[in-house]
Amino acid sequence: TPHWGQKLVHESTARFKVINAGNRYGKDRCSVMEGIDYFIQCLNEERDSSMVPHALWWIIAPLEKIANQNWRELLQYFPKELVTDVSTTTRTVSTINGGIIEVHSAYDPESLVAVGLDLVTITEAARIPGLEDVWDNLEARLTSPGRGLGRQGMSGQGRAIINSSPLGMN
């Protein structure tokens, strides 16, 4: 059950949602739950067969260790009946209807290229060195043709959910 602040995030229609909150707010849980809802909508959307994968969500963290919390939340709350395969080695979830969810580190911003994204979640953004470069790469992926809801054959409108505690503050 989301608290009042998380409800604001879930009710927002913004394309890019930013959660700037202190410790124990539930930023990761809110981001993962919001991501699951949007990703399932993308999975259920009728799309051209050239969209490979059918729906794609990346979860990005500053380091692999920080990504662990999002990975655990994803595995706990993503509907099991939609999962076709889970790789703990690559932190990848494959779903029915050709969806893929991947967890990545922002350690090397140049590795965050080459695919179109329906959704990206960035956790602890303030702790990502070179965040501007990371965001430039990811935003370009979100504008890939056909990505995002209702964008068949059009310029992409993928979404982003970004969360962080301000660096050095709670």
pLDDT (tens digit, 0 to 9) for every residue of the chain, 170 residues total? 989 999 999 999 999 999 998 888 899 999 999 999 999 999 999 988 888 999 999 999 998 888 888 999 999 999 999 999 999 999 999 999 999 999 998 888 778 877 899 999 999 999 999 899 899 989 989 988 889 988 655 667 899 999 999 876 55
Bridge partner list, 99: 55
| Cα separation, 46 vs 116, whole angstroms | 17
pTM for the structure as a whole: 0.92
Alpha-carbon distance values, 27 to 9, 105, 106, 155 (Å): 10, 18, 18, 30
